[in-house]
């Protein structure tokens, strides 16, 4: 397991979800994009506090891939392995395919 050499970009999603009317955006979601050079078993580290997340609720993974029977890339679910140590989320790229872009939705409070 090695840290990915692929370019990583993190986007903050404004979900607007909250249980308290005067405390907007309590629930946070970020989108972690990993460039096409990502290989399965590579790791990505994200410091959750940077994005206002103190309690991780979920990580959902997707892989961009190409198919001989479709025009352009397709996106499929791909489950990563995850762990959190001292506020740093480590995502281990799942699957068995090298050199595919990955996207992870990370949500928490």
The structural domains of the chain, with segments of one domain joined by +, span 2-108
Question: Which residues are registered as beta bridge partners of 63?
Answer: 76, 102
CB 91 within 8 A of CB 80: yes
Q: Which of 48, 70, 49, 73 is nearest to 62 (CA)?
A: 73
CATH architecture of the domain with residue range 2-108: Sandwich (2.60)
- 67 to each of 35, 36, 72, 82, 84, how far by Cα in Å? 18, 15, 8, 28, 34
pLDDT band at 19 (very low <50, low <70, confident <90, very high): very low
Per-residue pLDDT, 25: 58
Per-residue pLDDT, 23: 43
CB 93 within 8 A of CB 34: yes
């Amino acid at each position: 397991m090695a840290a990915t050499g692929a370019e990583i970009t993190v986007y903050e999603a404004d979900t607007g979800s909250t249980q308290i009317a005067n405390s907007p955006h309590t629930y946070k979601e970020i989108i972690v994009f990993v460039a096409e050079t990502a290989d399965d078993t590579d790791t990505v580290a994200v410091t959750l506090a940077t994005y206002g997340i103190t309690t991780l609720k979920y990580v959902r993974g997707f892989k961009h891939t190409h198919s001989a029977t479709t025009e352009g890339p397709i996106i499929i679910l791909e489950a990563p392995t995850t762990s959190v140590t001292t506020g740093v989320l480590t995502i281990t790229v799942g699957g068995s395919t090298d050199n595919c872009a990955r996207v992870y939705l990370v949500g928490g409070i």
